Structure 1
Amino acid sequence: MKQQFTAMALAFALAGCASQSTPVAPTPPKVASPTTAGTLTKRELADGLYEMALSPKGDALYVASAEGFKDVQGGVVYKLDPQSLKTLGLSHTDLKNFGMALSEDGQTVFVTHSLDGGLSALNTADGKVKARLLFPERNEKGLPFGARQILLHNDTLYVGAVADPAVIWVVDANTLKLKTRIKNTGKWMTGLHYSSQTGRIYAANGGGEILVINPRNHRIEQRWKPLGDKPALLLNIAEDRDTGRLFVTDNSKAKTTLVLDIRSGKVIKQLDIGDSLGVVYNAKRHEIYVSQRESGNVLSLDASTYAVKKRWSVKPNPNSLLLSADGETLFVTVKQPFNKDHSTTGPDSVVRIALNH
């Protein structure tokens, strides 16, 4: 995530009317073939790659793409083979795609359109956009609130707004109708996480807070500020359900990963591993994975001692992380630096890391 605090800048790091869409293409355009080196398989794919989702059967990897930001309209949702990273299909959308979530049955992929303040639902069978919701909120410059992270829980979508003050939109996942708004959520809603252990949603924001939200009544029950008055822009959240720990990253101010008690918000440990963006916990291997966008690494940490076990160099800028259901494969989107005109020097990549090697 770039550190300018605008919807576009936050979107660059990374949640209606009918969409112009193209069904999943049986013959995609020619692109670079995946390359394998040891445990890593890398595929240069396209400009503007952000979040990913894996099908319930593990046979399709969906990747949200905003495509280029200079003289390029719209985006693409890519469907890749999770083993080879070869393209299985793609769907063109008239808006740019950033955040992503997949329905439990694997039939619908949801994408957020950060620059346009909305989200779409796509049918995974044919790649067509089924529904679209654009939120009406505008900032002082007349621009839409940036729709960043998207969380699917109990047939409900929670979408965080990059705005000051921010909101969390609560949307019916089946109809894409706005149900309500969770207000007073601070500045720049970023990470969203649901814990089945506590039955609560945890929301990070750019003011250094973690909000504890009851999804039954959408009330904010607690507000934690783990670093106190120190500047912090908390980003992404992962959970170790067995020990009741939350892992929260900050890639802007504190440049750290926090380990918090999930019930009290107390800081158990502050990990001094450098800049931290994406974070994932692997219960089967008892490991924590952190992407370091500035340093160009993905780290594997021992979840008990917090010692670095492995360091994968995936330069230039690793971004989002996704873990397979069996805990044996880690997927990473790797971004290229932006030029001043929002162009890049080449396409972003998807990296597949085999963890059992």
Structure 2
Amino acid sequence: MDHGNGRLYVGHTLSGAVSILDARSGLVLDHVQLGKTDAEGKTEHIRMIEVDEATGRVFVSSPSRSGTVWIVDTRNGNAVQRIDDIGLWAAGLAHDTERSRLYVSGGGIEEIAVLDSATGERVSAISTGDTTEPGAEASRHFLLNLALDPGGRLFATDASTGRLYVFDIETGGTIASVPVGKGILDTVFNPQRNEIYVTWRGAGHEDHEGTGGLAVIDGTTLELRSRIDLPVHPNSLAVSPDGNLLFLTVKRPLDKQHPDYRKGASDTVMRVTNDNAPPARDGAGPVTEDKD
């Protein structure tokens, strides 16, 4: 979301495109095709989108074996800059406005590439140091999603271990790793409450029947404050600007063998309130579910 200009950027994962919408009217203002289609008719996928509201640049990742990032200049006719060979499975994105840095996470020896967000030039990398050989088979981590602490930390969910990794962005060193759960997915930092939120699905590629939840982690001690069990499957996170509302998407099961599968079921959005109401559900604020 570009709040200043009222523009919403919507990613079309399988078709490799981004639509630009007027947030008030819902009208589609433009449609930018990023992914190329090969001879077999397969189109490069896209995954995450980050917006630099100050410059109008929009960053988009593609989790391929070599890793690609596109930079769309919305103030220059949506001109596209393509950056290849970012790194294995370039999936997560985090943009640091103050430092003019774009962090791109995935797997491989250097799990996080650090780019100059103005030029797209690779300036450094952050690594756990655990992977010593190139290639997907040798990669010990897959850092799926990122969240930035303006104070100088970077949070990364590791799909391979189910842990949240915390890095120092100045030194590139690992501060800590916090166990969360199988199928760990998204993370977001709430500076107003000094909390880190993490979703996990409780399921993986071979086990589709697990259920996950929401983890609340103390931003100072990095200790787990609470775990809130949620319906299948907890997914993406967003925090309101005042820090008092957490929005969480829940994806419906697609596997017909899953015990919670329902034909025609819709995905849902949950709203977790952080107010002064009595504690509920293992110390967290009351949870209400809004269904479309």
Tell me the TM-score normalized by structure 1.
0.66
**2:71 aligned with 1:170, yes or no?**
yes
- Cα deviation for residue 257 of structure 1 reads 0.6
Question: Post-superposition shift, 1:135?
Answer: 2.3
C-alpha displacement of 1:189:
1.8
Supply the distance in 1 between the matched residues of 2:147 and 2:111 (Cα, whole angstroms). 15
Counterpart CA distance in 2 for 1:140 and 1:282 is 45
SS in 2 for 1:189: coil
Provide the secondary structure at the position in 1 that maps to 2:220: coil
Q: Structure 1 CA distance, aligned partners of 2:28 and 2:185?
A: 30
Cα RMSD (Å): 2.2
Look up the equivalent residue of 1:152 and give its one-letter code.
V
Q: Which residue of 2 aligns with 1:107?
A: 6
The residue type paired with residue 147 of structure 1 is I
Gaps of 5+ in 1: 1-101
Change (3 A) 1:151 1:184: same
Deviation at 1:187, TM superposition (A): 2.4
CA distance in 1, matches of 2:234, 2:129: 25
- Give, in whole Å, the separation in 1 of the partners of 2:38 and 2:99: 34
Q: Is the 8 A contact 2:249 2:270 kept in 1?
A: yes
The SS at the match of 2:272 is: strand
Aligned residues: 254
Correspondence for 1:303:
219
Q: Secondary structure at the match of 1:148?
A: coil
Q: Among residues 235, 241, 251, which one is paired with 1:319 in the alignment?
A: 235
TM-superposition CA deviations, 1:57-82 (whole Å, max 9, x none): xxxxxxxxxxxxxxxxxxxxxxxxxx
1:235 aligns with 2:144: yes
Query: In structure 1, what is the equivalent of residue 282 of structure 2?
Result: none
User: Would the alpha carbon gap of residues 125 and 283 (structure 1) be closer, same or farther in structure 2, given more than 3 Å must change?
Assistant: closer
Distance (whole Å) between structure 1 residues aligned to residue 43 and residue 257 of structure 2: 21
Corresponding residue for residue 201 of structure 1: 102
Correspondence 1:241-260 to 2 at 5 A:
241-242=150-151, 244-251=152-159, 253-260=160-167
Q: Is the 8 A contact 2:87 2:113 kept in 1?
A: no
Amino acid at match of 1:132: H
Look up the match of 1:353: 272
Structure number with higher relative contact order (C-alpha < 8 Å, ≥ 6 residues apart): 1
**Which of 180, 189, 195 is equivalent to 1:281?**
189
Measured against aligned partners, the alpha-carbon deviations of 1:94-137 in whole angstroms (never above 9, x if no partner) come to xxxxxxxx113252111011110111111123212111111252
Q: Please tell me whether the aligned partners of residues 139 and 163 of structure 1 are also in contact (alpha carbons under 8 angstroms).
A: no
CA contact (8 A) 1:133 1:176 kept: no
Within-5 A mapping of 1:175-190: 177-190=78-91
| Cα deviation code 1:188-243 (max 9, x no counterpart) | 2211111134321111124361011011221111122215215111111112222x
Aligned 8 A contact 1:290 1:299 in 2 = yes
TM-score normalised to structure 2 length: 0.80
Answer whether contact 1:300 1:311 (CA < 8 A) is retained: yes
